[in-house]
Structure 1
Amino acid sequence: MFKSQRWFVVALLFLAGVINYLDRAALSIAAPLIQKDLHFTHAEMGVVFSSFFIGYALFNFVGGLLSDKIGAKKVFGGAMGIWSLFCGATALASSLASLIVLRVLFGMGEGPFSSSNSKMINNWFPRREVASAIGVLNSGTPLGGALAGPIVGYMAVQFGWRWAFVIIMCIGFVWLVLWALTTTELPQQNKRVSKSELALIVAGQQTDESMDKVAHGETRLGFYLRQPIILATAFAFFAYNYVLFFFLSWFPTYLTEAHHMSLRDMSVATVVPWLLGSIGLAAGGFVTDKILRVTGKPLLARRIVLSVCLGMAALCVGFAGRVQTMQGAVALMSVTIFFLYVTGSVYWAVIQDTVRRERVGGVSGFVHLLANLAGVIGPAVTGFIVEAAHGAYGAAFVLAACIAVLGALCAFVFIREPKGQASREARTRTA
């Protein structure tokens, strides 16, 4: 599989995902030291966590639009350079205001990550491999989160939290050089792509009657952004992100405060959920593509995976805040992250199934923008809940579970074949 050039592109994007979440998770791992050093309250730290998503959510959409206009390779490379720079600049923070500004700029750099990924996959892969490719490349993000615990924890303890951000910045710049030298926007532009692989990609991207289920010839961006299936996908993605960012931002601090773990032990304990998440993300794409091949119905396959796995994640995160032991909390949160990440490739696959190629970047960016409003709202809300509850986290876990349940229900109701398409298929079967 990885001998083909299209899977080499996925391998590079996988590594970028590792770096992306290594950068992003670094703040939550170092948060106890930063709070102590800069004298932040829980509410102030929650605002810092949320500030990242102000820039991030906005540039989800901007990055998607730019990917359609100037190309995903340029947008993704520029994003890596910008977010790496401002990750390193985090070391310069000396106050609440300066850290908030740096996190907003850092978020702007990371914003185009997923929408430009989606565009690259759309350029390089046949339709039947889309969810599998997205699942593999996105499995790098939880692996980066897993590595962040021991790596950032070690560097923060040995050298201070500021140096950890500088070193991670350098890793991003090394990847950027490799991306610039080996990758092209389209497979037709790449001399390493064999004729047989190019023929497979081109043939697999041809639109047939089963594709473009929503538009029926419509190509305007605004048309897609009003469709119930797109809005439902965005809300389900919002629910996914609310739980994910609750874990990403606050779970390390929860372990140190509620279960009195040291920074070193906490850094190791958080590896397990991320590793299971990486497995879930890689497996989720293959599972949904397998269901697609069995049923022949892309949206049915996506709906099954989203509604079932979001529901399981809701159940587990709801109980995670009620257990009394550290081992129980880590185990339940690990299962939560696994089921959550099984759905991680499916949101993008729904877009690939329903949107014309020339609008994939813009629609992906729009959906990702709405989804990442969870990052603007969630960490800050959690901070205020914990502050009001005098350090108790139980209500925050329950709220995350309720939002995940709503996301699962939304996916089950709205992500389905349009009525016109369903009736055409029924007539075909009875003819």
Structure 2
Amino acid sequence: MRWWMLALLFFARIALGFQFQTAASVGGDLVTVFGIDYSDVGFLIGLFMVPGLFLALPAGAMGRYVSDRGLAFAGLSALALGGLVSGFGSGPVTIGLGRLVAGAGFLLSTLYFTKMIADWFEGREISTAMSILVMSWPFGIAMGQVGHAYLADLQDWRLPFVVASLYCAAAAAGVLLFYRAPAGRKAVQGANSTRLSRRELHLILLAGTAWGVFNAGYVAYLSFAPHRLEELGHPALQAAAVVSVASWIMIASGAVCGQIVDRFNHRNLVLIVCMTAAVVSLWLMGISGAGVAASLLFGLVGMAPAGVIMALAGEAVAPARRAFGMGIFFTVYYAIMAAAPPLAGWIFERSGTAGAPLVFGMILFACVVPAALAFRFVKTGERAVTSREDGQ
């Protein structure tokens, strides 16, 4: 049953990336129709992430009163509504309002999808399950990159928002009709608590930090690796194509990495190897002729442990407090994601070369390892204390 639930939530979570990609895919049309510039388009894209910084903790606390299925349904419904508001908007302000509504739905959906998979796979292949779930996001973005441009050419810029909203609505209906909580978890639902122990708080903060810097490093790669290749003489389209190779490969490599960790353990070793590969990949981007090799290494190895890192959130907090713990986890994630990209942009402007923000990306990826090692140290200490108490 748990694999059926994972499949359901995977296809439902594709909606998040599919809706997110709309503004980026029709950005050129918005510039033409409304007379805005590309910085305004970037602002509209970024609005999608703003609600998460403020709503993650309240969303986690809501798990005390509403079922996971109900909250995931509400999140997907907000994604559908936000897309329609943007799609039928009369200007940038209305489109931005729709992006905020959709962003709130994104936060609610991704928080409870993560919790639902953690509940189903607790102690059993959780790294594999999280890896598969996490890859639904780039899958949805890739779908949008291909589909939204076609839809916009077929009619106009509004159609991609409408189609994405229809997908979100179908996903909401699917979750509402077919999702079932694991046996024994329904009783816990009504007892959800916001009182984390000190160790749980430390663990969830470390997990959120690891996930935040990992994703911030990925954004640095996506944002500045193409510029670095252009500095080395690659045409813009070729540079973008080379960098995109990693995003396609990581969809498969993430699931493989999760399976390796679940079968053979050695989580820390896997993370050290993968983050070393990520750092080396960004360094190779600065060497003429090494762009394709760097992108392949980044997608095959560097980004492979996404689900392994996300699985830390499921390990950090007991089931009765997991919803609120996820709220803290995503608050840390959004705080890092709000600060790191502007800092990378500032580094780029000050240095005058894309190599400098890529060095910043290397530092971000390197920070994943101490955060994960500290997580495992605290977790191991907790087990040791529990064992001593049980022996008394």
Taking structure 2 as the reference length, the TM-score comes to 0.81
- Code of the aligned partner of 1:6: R
1:310 alignment partner in structure 2: 275
Percent identity between matched residues is 19
* CA gap 1:338/1:55 in 2 versus in 1, 3 angstroms: farther
Q: Does 1:128 align with 2:124?
A: yes
Task: Kindly state the Cα deviation for residue 357 of structure 1 after the two structures are TM-superposed.
Answer: 1.0
Pair 1:373-2:347 in alignment: no
1:345 partnered with 2:307: yes
1:356 partner amino acid: A
Rounded Cα–Cα distance in structure 1 between residues aligned with 2:25 and 2:262? 35
Match of 2:213 in 1: 239
Q: Deviations over 1:355-401 (max 9, x none)?
A: 211011211221122112233234444555556677x5333322222
Aligned to 1:397: 358
Contact 1:46–1:381 (Cα < 8 Å) also in 2: no
State whether structure 2 residue 248 is matched by structure 1 residue 283.
no
1:108 positional shift: 0.9
Indicate conservation of the 8 Å contact 1:239/1:403, yes or no. Answer: yes
Given the alignment, which residue of 365, 372, 376 partners 1:411? 372
> For structure 1, which segment, 87-96 or 115-124, has the greater mean C-alpha deviation from structure 2 after superposition?
87-96
Instruction: Find the counterpart in structure 1 of residue 56 from structure 2.
Output: 60
Q: Name the CA distance, whole Å, in 2 between partners of 1:153 and 1:336.
A: 27
Offset, 1:308: 3.0
C-alpha separation between the residues in 1 aligned to 2:254 and 2:120?
Answer: 20
- Give, in whole Å, the separation in 2 of the partners of 1:83 and 1:180: 15
* Structure 2 contact 21–141 (Cα < 8 Å) conserved: yes
SS where residue 306 of structure 2 aligns? coil
Map of 1:21 onto structure 2: 17
Do residues 117 (structure 1) and 113 (structure 2) align? yes
Q: Deviations over 1:295-330 (max 9, x none)?
A: xxxxxx44333333233223313433x2556xx546
Change (3 A) 1:83 1:331: farther
Amino acid aligned to 1:402: I
Structure 1 spans left out of the alignment, 5+ residues: 191-201, 206-218, 293-300
Q: d(CA) in 1 for partners of 2:270 and 2:165?
A: 36
Please say which of residues 240-249 and 417-426 is displaced more in the overlay: 417-426
Query: How large is the Cα RMSD of the aligned pairs?
Result: 3.7
Query: Deviation at 1:271?
Result: 5.7
Q: 1:330 to 1:279 in 2, by over 3 A?
A: same
Are the counterparts in 2 of residues 224 and 230 from structure 1 also a CA contact under 8 Å? no
Match of 1:184 in 2: 180
Check the 8 A contact 1:224/1:355 in 2, yes or no: no
Q: Aligned pair in 2 of structure 1 residues 172, 247: CA closer, same or farther (>3 Å)?
A: farther
Moved more, 341-350 or 10-19: 341-350
Query: Which residue of 161, 168, 180 corresponds with 2:164?
Result: 168
* Aligned equivalent of 2:71: 75
CA contact (8 A) 2:87 2:159 kept: yes
Change in Cα spacing, 1:120 to 1:413, as seen in structure 2 (3 Å) is closer
| Counterpart in the other structure of 2:137 | 141
Q: Deviations over 1:66-122 (max 9, x none)?
A: 235322111111101101221333334565554444333221110023321232124
What is the TM-score of this pair, normalised by structure 1? 0.75
Counterpart of 1:194 in structure 2 is: none
Alignment length, in residue pairs? Answer: 383
Report the secondary structure of 2:315's partner residue.
helix
**Structure 2 unaligned runs (5+)?**
none
Q: Return the letter of the residue paired with 1:236.
A: A
Amino acid at match of 1:14: F
